[in-house]
Structure 1
Amino acid sequence: MPSGRPEFTADLPRKRMAVALLITGADQRIMLVEPACQAVWEIPGGCVEADESPYQAAIREGREELGLTLSPGRLLVVDWVPPADGRTEGVMFVHDVGTLDAARAPRIVVPPDELTSWAWSDRSETAQRLPPLDTRATEALGARADTSTRYLENGVRAI
């Protein structure tokens, strides 16, 4: 419904958006990356840039963080993250990339200014490496298994 004002959308709230990629190996371990700027690991991904769709961001982040051209699949998780000190609220999307062919793993190249390393992680390693409030990887695995899409609020399943 037109507002009569051409700048109507300029006054609407803005939200950060980010994407993450659930990638598993043939043994179902999850791929995690180690950011250069923090002491905790995360699933690969990053911010959605201006005028970029979350899906296109997922493709770009796979290329930038891993040096691979990936085809993100089904949306597994949507997580609304409330504002915190120095951070606006955001919406995070987790896409299923599936199982990475063992022949492609040796071709992974992480950008040294952004990531220190990457590793396959079983459930125990994932629990140790991810921050306690980061449940997106676990929820994404569950959504993959039961073919659902899960909606979270600050990492907690809301529906």
Structure 2
Amino acid sequence: MSEQPEVSHATVDDGVARLTWTSDLTERGWQAAVDVVRRQVADALTEHERVEVKVAIDDAEAQRIATWSGLRREGIQRGRTGDVVVYARLVDDVPVHEPGGFRALLNSFLPRKRGIAQMLVRDETGGDASVDDEPRVLMCQLTYKADWDLPGGVVEVGESPRLAVSREVEEELALEIPAGELVLTDWLPPWGGWDDALCLVFDGGVHPASIADQIVPQAREIRSAAFLTLAEIDERAADFTARRVRAALASLAGRGPAYSESGR
């Protein structure tokens, strides 16, 4: 009986081949393994439109081999017996030796950070953060959590954060307020099932308090919106949100840094 090959592929669906390899391959070292796997990928793509491999999420060496064999990381497949990382290559992917193909390969596995854009809008009653009068800040009561928050939302893939925050304010509050300068970059650590994120707070300017009467809340996400004092924000918002508002106001007035971590 012949020995099992170190790496092989088998058809698992119409036009789809799946690679498997033995521990003998990884023991040869990742560079030698990459040469073997790369040839197997090319062979599989002569008869299939897609070739993939699934490796354990804690197997860093196998992930390295898959990556440098030209397979793009597609994501995590969860399973009861353990999560796996899915890598794949399509027959019409740009070759890795070409700049566009190499960039696409890097883009598939390099870290990505979630972006959130929010707007700091004040009313004319103490709305200028450079004076001693206490500012009132526009805040939203959300439908999906008890805490109030600054208007804004998640930045879409490929979207400018500055445009994103104006879009969110218009969609959720029916207010057309162009975003001004970036006031604060606030890093949010992992929390409550969320990955970490960067929150960018843009200056929304000072407006008459009467604009609150023009607000039409998007029913799916916004219960209400109002200008609140800092004391009211402390009562209604999460502590890290209250800290972010104060940090943004301090930065706007030149009394604090333009970067914070969870508002600190």
- Closer/same/farther in 2, CA of residues 85 and 38 from structure 1, 3 Å limit: closer
Residue 128 (1) aligns with residue 226 (2): no
Matches within 5 A, 1:2-151: 5-6=102-103, 7-27=105-125, 28=127, 29-134=136-241, 135-146=243-254, 150-151=258-259
SS of aligned partner of 1:5: helix
- 2:78 corresponds in structure 1 to none
User: What is the TM-score normalised by the length of structure 2?
Assistant: 0.55
Quick check: 2:209–2:227 contact (8 Å CA) kept in 1?
Answer: no
| Structure 1: 5+ residue stretches without partners | none
Quick check: 2:163–2:179 contact (8 Å CA) kept in 1?
Answer: no
Structure 1 residue 132, shift from structure 2 partner: 1.4
Return the letter of the residue paired with 1:23. Answer: V
79-88 or 113-122, which deviates more: 79-88
User: What is the TM-score normalised by the length of structure 1?
Assistant: 0.89
Q: Where do 4+ consecutive residues of structure 1 move more than 4 Å? A: none
Please give the alpha-carbon distance, in whole angstroms, between the structure 1 residues aligned to 2:261 and 2:100.
31
Task: Tell me: higher relative CO, structure 1 or 2? Use CA pairs within 8 A at least 6 residues apart.
Answer: 1
Structure with the larger helix share: 2
Root-mean-square deviation over aligned CA pairs: 1.9
Residues 25-46 of structure 1, C-alpha deviations (whole Å, 9 max, x = no match)? 1102111100011111011111
Residues 25-70 of structure 1, C-alpha deviations (whole Å, 9 max, x = no match)? 1102111100011111011111001111111101101101210111
Quick check: 1:45–1:58 contact (8 Å CA) kept in 2?
Answer: yes
For the pair shown, which has the larger CA radius of gyration, 1 or 2?
2
Return the letter of the residue paired with 1:5. Answer: F
Quick check: 1:76–1:148 contact (8 Å CA) kept in 2?
Answer: no
- Closer/same/farther in 2, CA of residues 94 and 36 from structure 1, 3 Å limit: same
- Closer/same/farther in 2, CA of residues 89 and 119 from structure 1, 3 Å limit: same
Residues 74-102 of structure 1, C-alpha deviations (whole Å, 9 max, x = no match)? 11110111223421111110001111234
- 1:154 corresponds in structure 2 to 262
Quick check: 1:41–1:130 contact (8 Å CA) kept in 2?
Answer: yes
63-72 or 147-156, which deviates more: 147-156
Structure 1 residue 155, shift from structure 2 partner: 2.2
How many residue pairs are counted as aligned between the two chains?
155
Please give the alpha-carbon distance, in whole angstroms, between the structure 1 residues aligned to 2:101 and 2:217.
48
Structure 1 residue 119, shift from structure 2 partner: 1.2
Please give the alpha-carbon distance, in whole angstroms, between the structure 2 residues aligned to 1:87 and 1:41.
18
